Amino acid sequence: MRGRTDRVAAPRPVRGRTPERLRPHRRPEQPRTWEHDISLTDTPQTTRPPRTVAFVAYPGLTLLDLVGPLQVFSALQAAHDGFRVVVMSESRRTMETDTPLSVLPDTTFDQVPDPYAVVVPGGLVPTLTAMADQDLLDRLRRAAADAEIVASVCTGSLLLGAAGLLDGRRATTHWMFRDLLASFGATPVAERWVEDGPCLTAAGVSAGIDMALHLVARMTDERTARGIQLQIEYDPRPPFGGIDWGSVDTERHAPLAQRFLTEALADHPGLLARLHG
């Protein structure tokens, strides 16, 4: 009939079921990934004074010993207002490193009287010479006196040892100089990093990054440390694989280590004789 519109009745909803058009849209399930469990954007903040992580600078240090763990802790500082990161030395002056790049500490020992953590980088001849620098060793003793954590990278542990901070503790350092730790009352250990009480010592150079990530987990939690590892994309894959330590002839390198030591301590025969054993 003209003007009449045939109407089709809408289907009745089945009791207990929601009509399809009213159901909320659901995204398909996504597989969980590493990133689901880590984030630096929701790191808990704190209202208490920040804990100071102080890196020690001195002339001739190995740059990566310093900047590797420094990068890790700088990422922590950026994500968590509970930490403050500084580089301290005797004075705020430019210092040479074992690369063409120099460093300028942002503070002095006197300006950081009570650090939460102290991190000492290592080096080659200048670091070995610093084992006889009583002013520096006194500074390290005072900085470490009330610190919760005293850490080192590479031969930085020899400075801790010379300061008497590793006596009776397990420790490690660069493999070429590991046996020297025994002269300072420490027990040498061939591990990537060693934790004994408040002291953490890392093996050579790049091991400082591993130790720093472990320290971040200890200071906060593993989730935060994993977030920083992702942020700095620390996923080392050496082109020739890992080091086969079983095939490394350490005895063959002993004369070279002794030459460095003799050069470094030429003006300190007493300490040289002690280390030669």
Active site includes 199?
no
One-letter amino acid at 208 equals: G
- Report the sign of the C-alpha dihedral through residues 101, 117, 157, 137, in that order: positive
Query: Catalytic: which of 128, 154, 215, 272?
Result: 154
Catalytic residues: 154
